[in-house]
């Protein structure tokens, strides 16, 4: 009897052990799967608002505008009506891919000569002279005019509600808010709006912004004209004038977002799309082209060999982007050369498999904070979109009476007149925010990972995780990442989930490592949605480095006839 009982216990233990083993995995969250539409953002309330719009019959565009407007309210650190927007749209019915560049230009009178006369010798990173024309509202309008289904006014109601009634501040947003406390003190309107009672709102504390509710209501009722020609425009101009800025009514009224043709490369058996310059999506594609010259390390995605290849490929691609990227309306940008496979092979030949290169130069050519989210509707259309103020609260200048900060994207201009990114009036600066899209056969993925200059290398790591190591999109998003936030040669920030043995091996190769916690927000915050056009199913992933979630739309439960 004792032997029989022991055998039963052993069988139960083995069965339990097998079941636990079958469920073991190296990532925390499950992929969200649904046969309906889905919205993945960095704030749950924004994802819910977008999903609600889908439930009302809205398109992916409608849901994205609603979600983005809520993010404007709940993540004022990262984005808002004072920032820019880029988008990639995949139309399921036709298979066509569209790109929208809604980045703003410098005011006509904001020039190198103007700054030199003021005694400024380096491009301002904050303040009114770092401000460029915001593009987001016109970007919303361009998208809605082409693919929107629901009335424009309806899309902004969730954001107006949260702005008027308040919302509890999320923990990561609180940390970023607190990090810009001193910057907010530099502007009286920023202090009034974003430091209620003279302090940063605590995690979980309710925050209201009735001024931005008013701004959103103006845009809801009057369209983009309210922002670029109406009452909001007048407030922007008054703010600029009081601070000695150069913005004029014509700078705002003449602005228009631009439809662009996405650029792409084939990585193994997938096609990966980014937007063309003035953005730095080209760096992600060049990095992938260089990585393609090497076989994936069989030891895994965060083995010393694989990480070394990725790090060195990143340095080569970033050196090229820094040297050659800019506004193609002002300079000829050598996109074709930078994305050629032959050029990638030449750049890859510079990688020493045993040693890090700390002084990477751009290649020789023949001539010449942020928030990301993605939406899929029940028809399978995917919108991959990113929106940003650049730094926390952008320029730290808040528009008088309107409740939103103006971006400091102009800080990315160069005052070197020989640079393709040299400051000039009505010129768009080099841009770090990039949406992405990739596809193979029936699989179509809208994805992005925000975080300044971190973005191209984060994109390349995500793509490699999916393509080379066959991860699902949630695992690929959670996989330990590295970054080089300041582009300082061999100085690499890396997450502590990488094994000590790998960290030691990388250090011996010459990489100077700064190890951060398991899911540091320095790696950016990503979202991804995969649509399978064969089954019609959608799969969503949301980065644990953010406060958000992938939320599916819900079917009409009540009053629907049961299917037997």
What SS3 state is found at 541? strand
Going 267 to 272 to 273 to 276, the CA torsion angle's sign is negative
Instruction: Give the 3-state DSSP-derived string for 402-431, with helices as H, strands as E and coil as C.
Output: CCCEECCHHHHCECCCCCCCECCCCCCCCE
Q: Which residue has the tokens 């969200």?
A: 32
**108-120: string of b/e by CB count within 10 Å (b at 16+)?**
bebbbeebeeeee
Residue 54: enclosing H or E segment and its boundaries?
helix 44-55
Residues 6+ apart with CB under 8 A from 502: 302, 303, 304, 307
Cα 152 to Cα 148, 277, 386, 412, 554: the distances in Å are 8, 30, 20, 33, 22
Both structure tokens of 263: 């650029």
Both structure tokens of 82: 């004072």
In whole angstroms, give the CA distance from residue 3 to residue 105. Answer: 81
Q: Which of 41, 370, 398, 483 is catalytic?
A: 370
With CA atoms as reference, report the closest residue to 204 among 157, 166, 158: 166
- DSSP per-residue string spanning 83-144: SEEEEEEE-TTT--EEEEEEPPPPPTT--HHHHHHTT--S--SSSGGG-----HHHHHHHHH
In whole angstroms, give the CA distance from residue 29 to residue 224. Answer: 39
Find residue 100's DSSP bridge partners: 87, 259
Cβ atoms 431, 357 nearer than 8 A? no
370 a catalytic residue:
yes
Cβ atoms 509, 308 nearer than 8 A? yes
User: Which of the residues are catalytic?
Assistant: 370
């Amino acid at each position: 009897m004792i032997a029989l009982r022991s055998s039963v216990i052993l069988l139960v233990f083995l069965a339990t052990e097998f079941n636990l083993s079958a469920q073991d995995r190296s990532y925390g969250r499950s992929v969200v799967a649904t046969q309906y539409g889905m919205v993945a953002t960095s704030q749950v309330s924004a994802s819910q608002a977008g999903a609600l719009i889908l439930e009302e019959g809205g398109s992916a565009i409608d849901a994205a505008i609603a979600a983005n407007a809520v993010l404007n309210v709940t993540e004022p650190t990262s984005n808002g009506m004072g920032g820019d927007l880029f988008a990639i749209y995949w139309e399921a019915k036709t298979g066509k891919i569209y790109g929208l560049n809604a980045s703003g230009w410098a005011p006509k009178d904001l020039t190198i000569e103007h700054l030199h006369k003021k005694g400024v010798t380096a491009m301002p990173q904050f303040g009114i002279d770092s401000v460029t024309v915001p593009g987001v509202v016109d970007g919303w309008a361009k998208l809605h005019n082409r693919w929107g289904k629901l009335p424009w006014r309806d899309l902004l109601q969730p954001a107006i509600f949260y702005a008027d009634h308040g919302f509890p501040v999320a923990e990561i947003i609180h940390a970023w808010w607190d990090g810009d406390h001193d910057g907010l003190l530099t502007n009286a309107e920023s202090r009034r709006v974003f430091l209620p009672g003279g302090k940063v709102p605590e995690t979980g504390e309710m925050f209201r912004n009735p001024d931005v509710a008013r701004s959103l209501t103006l845009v809801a009722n009057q369209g983009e004209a309210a922002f670029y020609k109406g009452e909001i425009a007048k407030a922007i101009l008054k703010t600029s004038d009081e601070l000695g800025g150069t913005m004029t009514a014509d700078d705002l009224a003449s602005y228009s977002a631009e439809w662009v043709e996405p650029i792409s490369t084939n990585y193994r058996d997938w096609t990966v799309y980014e937007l063309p310059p003035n953005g730095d999506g080209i760096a992600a594609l060049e990095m992938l082209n260089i990585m393609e010259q090497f076989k994936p390390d069989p030891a895994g995605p965060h083995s010393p060999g694989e990480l070394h290849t990725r790090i060195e490929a990143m340095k080569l691609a970033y050196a090229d982007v820094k040297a050659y990227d800019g506004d193609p309306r002002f300079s000829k940008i050598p996109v074709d050369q930078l994305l050629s496979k032959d050029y990638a092979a030449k750049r890859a030949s510079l990688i020493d498999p045993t040693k890090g290169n700390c002084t990477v130069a751009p290649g020789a050519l023949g001539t010449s904070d942020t928030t990301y989210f993605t939406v899929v509707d029940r028809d399978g259309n995917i919108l991959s979109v990113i929106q940003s103020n650049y730094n926390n609260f952008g320029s730290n200048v808040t528009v008088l009476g309107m409740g939103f900060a103006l971006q400091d994207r102009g800080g990315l201009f160069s005052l070197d007149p020989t640079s393709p990114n040299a400051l000039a009036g009505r010129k768009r600066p080099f841009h770090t925010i990039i949406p992405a899209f990739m596809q193979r056969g029936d699989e179509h993925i809208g994805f992005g990972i925000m975080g300044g200059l971190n973005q191209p290398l984060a994109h390349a790591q995500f793509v490699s995780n999916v393509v080379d190591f066959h991860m699902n999109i949630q695992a690929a998003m959670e996989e330990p990442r590295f970054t080089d936030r300041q582009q300082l040669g061999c100085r690499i920030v890396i997450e502590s989930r990488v094994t000590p043995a790998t960290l030691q091996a990388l250090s011996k190769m010459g990489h100077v490592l700064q190890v951060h916690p398991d899911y540091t927000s320095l790696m950016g915050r990503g979202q991804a949605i995969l649509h399978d056009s064969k089954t019609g199913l959608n799969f969503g992933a949301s980065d644990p480095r953010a406060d958000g979630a992938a939320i599916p739309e819900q079917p009409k439960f009540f009053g629907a006839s049961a299917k037997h």
